[in-house]
Structure 1
């Protein structure tokens, strides 16, 4: 039986922690709105480790945004932990508040998230957990820098307290092409601490975007349950933004 502590993929987690908002005309609505997208990723990775047994995963989210900075949403994804109960999907329910500083370039965010695995078969501790996050994002010309931290009081399968510190730098090479690099460190009470990093690029066209990134971690085979989940990998993710729901 292979066990770990799953959560949203690194890119989405940083986006949500930074206060994911619609762009362009959508963001100008005085009432906010409800937005959604569908993703197909070649490997669902959490902090450098595969949560889909190295297989593709279908993902989607619905995000509610208000002009006063409050937001909430639901993220869903396929998972594959190769466990006896054949757990197959994850739901993340999140909500938070953004605070824009007077300089017009910096945004602070506080967020809480509940991660659930509805079809898990619980013979021991549950995979479910609660996470609290804080983040800061600063945009300066073509650069966008994000730093995020999180705390989990009780991680998946009785792993105890878990802390995370993560950062990402993005550079808009041109309007439709952004280069990205990220690094993070996770500390966990019962398990193996790890450092993870990624390097990639995102290309956009109308409602479509495609991200290609390289991900790796410092965990060895023995620390990863003698699986290939911690091996370095080249991950591709296709995203389709759907029309606003309201």
Structure 2
């Protein structure tokens, strides 16, 4: 489990939004396209567990896509683990390749991601980890079905190997309104295995999107360190795509 800070680095994340997220919806060329967004979520959840102590978190990403299916990107978010070192932000650097099958409805994805917590104070094992992921996405009319499997050789804070299997179904009620539900299971070498699930809806208007979802896990308060990080919650996320400048 990725494991706070009473004073999150808003200046740093705003700088990332300004400098690293130069395009909004997209800026395409024969070299591909660049996508980016900034947003605010009422609670940053990672596989069902709060990584922001139940508090709001500022987030942003930049994503580069190529016509041959290769892609790379950077995701930044505030975190709040309530740890002695006041770890306050996370950076996810990822890259991979999409493979579109000839049926035009199926996409396979292979990805590697490095998750870092640059201002953690390492007195023991690090929070940082590497993750390898494979996913398959199938579209059937208004439905989009996704299955994801991932492997972490060494999870945060020396928790050993971690595996994840996750499924998600999305249904487009109309072009600007969709429903989504997902369920996942994570197995970890040193820690508590968990099942997590969510259901929600996303509405979009121009460059804005608003998502509301309900999330829960099967972890008990004792397994969650006697915190409310694993308790059921309704989470709202507001996101805006930044306008293109290139």
Equivalent residues of 1:35, 1:245 under 8 A apart: no
Partner of 2:211: 211
Question: How many aligned residue pairs are there?
Answer: 227
Q: Is the 8 A contact 1:215 1:235 kept in 2?
A: yes
Q: Tell me the residue number matched to 2:2.
A: 5
CA distance in 2, matches of 1:23, 1:41: 19
Counterparts of 2:148 and 2:87, CA distance in 1: 28
* Aligned ranges 1:94-109 → 2 under 5 Å: 94-109=94-109
Superposed displacement of residue 35, structure 1: 1.5
After TM superposition, the structure 1 = structure 2 runs for residues 57-96 of structure 1, keeping only pairs within 5 Å, are 57-96=57-96
1:29 CA displacement: 4.3
Shift of 1:28: 6.8
Identify unmatched segments of 5+ residues in structure 1: 7-21
- Please list every run of at least 4 consecutive aligned residues from structure 1 whose deviation after the TM superposition is greater than 3 angstroms: 26-30
SS in 1 for 2:167: strand
Q: What is aligned with 2:185? A: 185
Q: CA deviation at 1:218?
A: 0.1
CA RMSD, 1 decimal: 1.6
Distance 1:230 1:196 in 2: 9
In the other structure, the counterpart of 2:229 is 229
Paired residue secondary structure (1:224): coil
Equivalent positions of 1:1-246 (< 5 A) are: 4-5=1-2, 26=26, 29-246=29-246
1:213-233 superposed Cα distances (whole Å, 9 cap, x missing partner): 000000000000000000000
Measured after TM superposition, the shift of residue 33 of structure 1 is: 1.7
Cα contact 1:179–1:202 (8 A) shared by 2: yes
Q: Deviation string for 1:68-102 (max 9, x for gaps)? A: 00000000000000000000000000000000000
The unaligned stretches of length 5 or more in structure 2 are: 4-22
